[in-house]
Each structure stands twice: as C-alpha cells, then as structure tokens.
Structure 1
C-alpha cells in the first residue's frame, strides 16, 4: 500500500518514469509514422478571355441596287428619283424647246447617300433650276445602295420644262416634233 501511495505523488520516480516513457513512445511513433500524403495543388481557375466587344453594327441600307456598272445603276437612280418626285415628272413627250438641259454627275456612297454632285453641263442661264435639281437629288437620298460596286458615280441628263416638271434622259418619253 505504501507503494501505491508513493506513485500517486506528482514527483514520484515511477510517475516521472512513466511520463518520460510516454513522451518517448509518442516521439518514436511520430518519427516512424508516414508523412501525410501531399495534397494536390489547388486547381488554378483561369477565367476565360473576355468576349470581344460586339462589333458596332452598321445600319443596313433599306434600298439596294444589284447594278454591276454605273450605266446599270443610272436606271436605278432615275427610277428612284421618279418615285420620290412622281408629281413633278413631265407626262408624255416633252415639247420641242426645253427651258433647261443639264448633265449632272451624282456620286453615291455604299449606303446610298449622295456624297458629291458635279455638273458636266450646267444650265447656268437658269441658276434657280440648277439649285432645284441639286435640291431634288439630295432630297431623294438615300438612293439604292450600290452593293456590288461599293460606291458609284453615274451621270444623267435632266430635261427641264418651263412648268417646273422634268424628265431624266434615262427614262424619257422623248420629245415632240414641231
């Protein structure tokens, strides 16, 4: 019984020996244990590249011409001007004498906008007619877009009656003889 009492004291040699043995055993077991399996590296999350910004969509032309030459486009341009000015087209054959005759070059961009006007033969004796023809052409824009050519410069002859009505040579009904 005396021995049991001696080992229950905190500073007893038995208790100290057991403490050292326990610590040594724990250290020995720790040294012999296999190291923990290495953890696989965390997956690297790579964000997808940003989507390209949507290209600015150009408005599509509402009128399109499939003409492959300025001569073909001239008909589309004349029809377009006639459609926009139906009440100003001279009906029937023109009289033998015209108030004005002008030759105008019209440049149309790929969207059908008038980008330039150039008089080849200006009716300079009637500047008000020149201004009215130019105004009429610009007011008719946009013209059919010349999709096969990208842009076009075409020429037409304006036949102007003293009434203020006109015909274009491309679609003229001709002139009366005296």
Structure 2
C-alpha cells in the first residue's frame, strides 16, 4: 500500500464491490517477487491494476522463517475495488 498511494482508497467499502481480484504472489527468500498470477477476477482492468501494483511493491519483507524447506513462498492477497479502480487489501481492510 505504501508504494501505491494513488491506487488506494480508505474508509468503508461500497455495499456492492465493482471488482474483486485475488492474486497468488510468490516471493523468494529475499522478498523479491518471483511470480504474480491472477487466481480469481472477472474484470481485466482491475486485474491489471492489482498485478501492476504488486510489481511496484517489491521487494517485500523477507519471509526467511517461513522457508525452512523451500526457496520461495506463495501466498494470496485479495484486492477490493471501488468504482474508480482504487483498492483496499483484504488483509489490512478494517471491519466493515
């Protein structure tokens, strides 16, 4: 969110979200993005905004403690969009 301030909206989510995008994100032991893949979306424009935002966000914090037997970590993040293609991340969005 810090590296994408122009794409973020704050406050309450709209009652009907125009777009929801779920990304699968893979990082290496140094937090560098290895892969960003759309897992779920019905809106290609929102998908593009989400993927581009993740690409601008690297490197992420090092997940070294989580990588005992692997050289990468894959996780999901959900982007919740308003009608202006600004988003909140589900993992940090407040209660609605």
Superposition TM-score, scaled by structure 2 size: 0.83
Moved over 6 A (4+): none
Which sections of structure 1, spanning at least 5 residues, go unmatched?
1-81
Q: Which structure exhibits the higher relative contact order, with contacts defined as CA atoms closer than 8 Å and separated by 6 or more residues?
A: 2
Candidates 103, 108, 112, aligned match of 2:27: 108
Residue of structure 1 equivalent to 2:14: 95
Deviations 1:55-114 (A, max 9, x none): xxxxxxxxxxxxxxxxxxxxxxxxxxx121234321111110111011111001112111
Which sections of structure 2, spanning at least 5 residues, go unmatched?
none
1:102-141 matches, within 5 Å, as 102-123=21-42, 126-141=43-58
Greater Cα radius of gyration, structure 1 or 2: 1
Superposition TM-score, scaled by structure 1 size: 0.48
| Cα RMSD, aligned residues only | 1.5
Query: Which structure dedicates a bigger proportion of its chain to helix?
Result: 1
